[in-house]
Amino acid sequence: MHAGESVWRELAPRTLARLLRTYGSDQFELCEDAVQDALLDAFRQWTDRLPDDPQAWLATVARRRYVDRVRADARRRERETRATMLDAPLAQDTTETGSDGLDTGSDDALLVLQLCCHPDLPRSGQVALTLRAVAGLTTRQIANAYHVPEATIAQRITRSKRRLTELDRAFPQPQHVHERLAPVLDVLYVMFTEAHHTTSGAPAQDTDLAAEAIQLARTLRNAAPDSTEAAGLLALMLLTEARHPARVGPRGQLIPLDEQDRHRWHRPFIDEGLAMLDEVTPGATPGPYLLQACIAGLHAAAADAEATDWDEIHALYTVLEHQTLGRNPTITLNRIVAQSMVEGPRVGLAALEVLAHEHPQLARLDSVRAHLLERSGRIDEAIAAYQRAIRVTVNVAEQQYLRHRLHRLKR
C-alpha cells in the first residue's frame, strides 16, 4: 500500500534539510535531486507497508543517491573534493537538535523555507523555489498562482538553484527567521491558496496541502511570536479552512459563501482564529495578511450572509488595495465585489469595467461580471458572461459551479 501524499510532503523537506546540513547549501540542486531519487525508490518499494522509520529510511537512501551523483560527476573538482565526506554514517540523525534546543525534525520544512528565501535571491525566485522544494507544487501550479507562463517559473527555479550553489552559505538557523519573514509569508500564502483552490479543481481542495500549510504557519508563528503578519496569516488560514466542510458538496461541487450551511463550519478553527485576531489587532499597524484575516473574521462572525458587515469588509479591502499600491488586481476585484454588496451591482459593474480595461485577462473577471449582471436582472448579458467565464476557466470545480449558475438562468 503506497503512502499517502501527505506523507511525501512531510518527509521530503525534512530529508532535504538533513542533506543540506551534511553537504552544504551550495549543494542544493544535487541534494534536491537525490531526495527526488529517494522518493522514487520509496514509491516503488513501499507497496506493501511503510518501513518502521520512514524518515530514517528516506534519509539513508537520499544520502546514497547523493553519493552516486557526486561520484558520477567528475567534471566538477569542487564535488570531487567532497569525497572524504561520503563515508559518513548513512543512518545518522534520526532525531536532531539545533543549537537553540529546538527539535529540528519538527522545523526542517521551515529551515528549507528560510534557505530558499535567501536574501541574495530575487523575491520571485525565492517563492518559486520554495513552492517546489517545500510544498511540492508543480511549475504549472505555481504559474497558475502568479498568472505567468510555466516556462517563466521553470527559469526562475533553475536560476535560483544555481545562485544557491554559488553562494555556499551556511544552512540558516531558526533565529534568522525575521530576516526572511516576508518571502516566507508569501510562500505559505501561495501554498495555502493552491490548497484551498487547486489549479485543476479535481479535487476542489487539497486537504493534505492545506494541513501542511497550516502546520508551517504555526511553526512560523512560534518562531516569530511578535510578528502580527505571521499571526495574521495563521488566523487567515484557520478562518478560511474552517469553511471547508460547507464549501464543497458531496459530489465535489463548490458551494458559494452565501449558500453555505454555517453550522457545518469548523468551530474550533474559527474560535482560534478570532481569538488570535483579538490578541494581535489592538494597536497593530496591519499588513496585508492581518487585513485579510480581519476580513475573514467578519465573515466568520456573521450569523448568516445577510448579517455580514459588508461596509467594514469594503473598507478593509480599500485599505488593503491602497497598501499594496493597487498592484494586485485580485484584491481590486474582491474590493469591487464588496463594493457591489454595499452600493449595488450597477456600481460594481461600472468599477469592473475599469478593472477589465487594465487587466483584461484577470482570472474570475467574467464570473464576477456574470454574477453582478444576474443580480442586476440583465439575464441575457449574464448568460453570455457565464458562457465566456466557462470557456476561460481551467478549474474543473469552478467550471461545474459556473455551469450550474448558467443552467439555472436558462430555465
- Confirm if 164 and 361 have CB atoms less than 8 A apart: no
CA distance 235 to 227: 12
Per residue in 305-342, pLDDT (tens digit) is 889 999 999 999 999 999 988 889 999 999 999 999 99
- Confirm if 257 and 305 have CB atoms less than 8 A apart: yes
Instruction: Output 351 or 4, whichever has higher pLDDT.
Output: 351
Phi first, then psi, for residue 103 (nearest 5°) are -75, 105
Q: Which pLDDT score, from 0 to 100, does residue 79 have?
A: 42
Q: How confident is the model at residue 101 (pLDDT cuts 50, 70, 90)?
A: very low
H and E: helices and strands count for the chain:
20, 0
**Above 90 in pLDDT, residue 374?**
yes
Kindly state the average pLDDT of the residues 169-177: 56
92-96, 255-259, 387-391, range with the lowest pLDDT: 92-96
Per residue in 68-91, pLDDT (tens digit) is 777 666 444 444 444 434 443 333
**Above 70 in pLDDT, residue 246?**
yes
Global confidence as pTM: 0.75
- Confirm if 253 and 276 have CB atoms less than 8 A apart: no
Q: Which three cell numbers stand for residue 268?
A: 474550533
Looking at the chain, the whole-number percentage of residues with pLDDT higher than 70 is: 85
Q: Which pLDDT score, from 0 to 100, does residue 77 have?
A: 47
Q: How confident is the model at residue 6 (pLDDT cuts 50, 70, 90)?
A: low
Q: Which pLDDT score, from 0 to 100, does residue 4 have?
A: 58
Kindly state the average pLDDT of the residues 104-108: 54
Kindly state the average pLDDT of the residues 128-136: 81
Going by C-alpha positions, the residue among 71, 52, 154, 171 that lies closest to residue 117 is 171
Q: Which pLDDT score, from 0 to 100, does residue 364 have?
A: 92
Q: Which pLDDT score, from 0 to 100, does residue 120 have?
A: 82
Instruction: Output 372 or 169, whichever has higher pLDDT.
Output: 372
Q: How confident is the model at residue 62 (pLDDT cuts 50, 70, 90)?
A: confident
Q: Which pLDDT score, from 0 to 100, does residue 289 have?
A: 97
How buried is residue 89: exposed, middle or buried, by Cβ count under 10 Å (0-12/13-18/19+)?
Answer: exposed
Per residue in 201-237, pLDDT (tens digit) is 666 677 877 888 898 899 889 888 999 999 999 999 9
3-state secondary structure of 226: coil
Q: Which three cell numbers stand for residue 37?
A: 531519487
Q: In the chain, where are the structural domains located?
A: 1-86, 363-411
Helices (H), 46-149: 54-72, 77-80, 104-116, 123-133, 139-146
Q: Which pLDDT score, from 0 to 100, does residue 71 have?
A: 67
Helices 310-323 + 288-301 axis angle, to 10: 170
Burial 119-137 (b: 16+ CB within 10 A, else e): eebeebbbbbbbbbbbbbb
DSSP secondary structure letter of residue 179: G
Radius of gyration of the chain from Cα atoms? 23
- Confirm if 340 and 348 have CB atoms less than 8 A apart: yes
Kindly state the average pLDDT of the residues 83-103: 39
**Above 90 in pLDDT, residue 269?**
yes
**Above 70 in pLDDT, residue 107?**
no
Q: Which three cell numbers stand for residue 155?
A: 527559469
CA distance 280 to 287: 12
3-state secondary structure of 103: strand
Instruction: Output 391 or 39, whichever has higher pLDDT.
Output: 391
The mean pLDDT of the chain is 83
- Confirm if 292 and 236 have CB atoms less than 8 A apart: yes
Contacts of 36 (CB under 8 A, 6+ apart): none
Q: Which pLDDT score, from 0 to 100, does residue 95 have?
A: 41
CA distance 60 to 91: 5
